[in-house]
Amino acid sequence: MGVGLGIALKSLFSVLGCVMTATLIYGFITDGQPFRIQLITPWMAAALIDFFINTFAIGAWVVYKESNWISAVLWVVLIMCWGSAPLCGYILLQFFKLSSKESMQDPVFYVLLRHGKMNKPERQNKLCVAVAKVVFIALGCLMLGTLIYTFVTNGSPFRKEVFTPWLSVTLIDLCFIDVILSVWIAYKETSWISTSCWILLLICLGSIGTCAYIVLQLFQLSPQDPAYYILFNRYGRAEEGYEGILQEDHVDDC
């Protein structure tokens, strides 16, 4: 089961990465380079805010995952600039780093997991969780306010003139990021009903749904849990605790 899931996900992320790369090339050919102030229409600005909030959430995982700050910053910058194309490459790289045992057991868990000791005092864990709650509540409210403001001042987004070539590319990128986040939600949720509801919310509301889901997961943590525990389902959290004990024992032995 684990090996089959790993192969399916590697195939999915390979296809998404290739399609997004081709889409970016198409955008360059048809509309020039994207970093121009003329491209920032009201709905393009709203789409970019949605994009940056989603990539901020994913970037937090990349920073947690990477033990080297230089590589973490480089990957986050790449993802912030080019979206799902480098993101799929990064995820594929994590899958190819898995050992045969990890691939057979639970490939999603080991892709999400950072290998290395990450023990923090309980007080620091509480502070990180509290800060994360405030940040993602604020980001969700920012996106909601942006949507309302843009709708009131610029009308409906479902108009032909709204869809410039680079806005279309951005929307495709957002859809692919939603697919990536949906894989994570499907891994975490135990019920297909709740999984479907959250994915539907993600598709309809974008980063508002992302922030709502992350905040809900943060509120479900116990007081001693670190913020990164929201990455894992309940089985993964138990496994992460076991991995941490093994790592501590290894460090003590050394």
pLDDT in tens for each of the 254 residues of the chain? 578 999 999 999 999 999 999 999 999 999 999 989 999 999 999 999 999 999 999 999 999 999 899 999 999 999 999 999 999 999 999 999 999 999 999 999 999 999 765 556 656 778 899 999 999 999 999 999 999 999 999 999 989 889 999 999 999 999 999 999 999 999 999 999 999 999 999 999 999 999 999 999 999 998 889 999 999 998 887 776 645 433 444 434 33
Block residue for tokens 């192969």:
7
Residue 25 belongs to what domain range? 2-253
Q: Check if the beta carbon of residue 247 is closer than 8 Å to that of residue 117.
A: yes
| Contact indicator for 79, 59 with CB cutoff of 8 Å | yes
Q: Is 232 left (phi over 0), alpha (psi -120 to 50) or beta?
A: beta
Q: How many CA atoms lie within 13 A of 131 on its CB side?
A: 10
| Cβ atoms 226, 125 nearer than 8 A | yes
Question: Which residue in the block uniquely carries the two structure tokens 């959430």?
Answer: 57
* Helix, strand, coil percentages for the chain (3-state, nearest 5): 80, 0, 20
Q: How many whole angstroms from its chain centre is CA 146?
A: 21
CB 115 within 8 A of CB 123: no
Distance separating alpha carbons of residues 254 and 246, to the nearest angstrom: 12
pTM beyond 0.85, yes or no: yes
Q: What total number of domains does the chain contain?
A: 1
φ, ψ of residue 204 in degrees (nearest 5): -80, -40
* DSSP letter assigned to residue 113: S
Q: 252 burial class (0-12, 13-18, 19+ CB within 10 angstroms)?
A: exposed
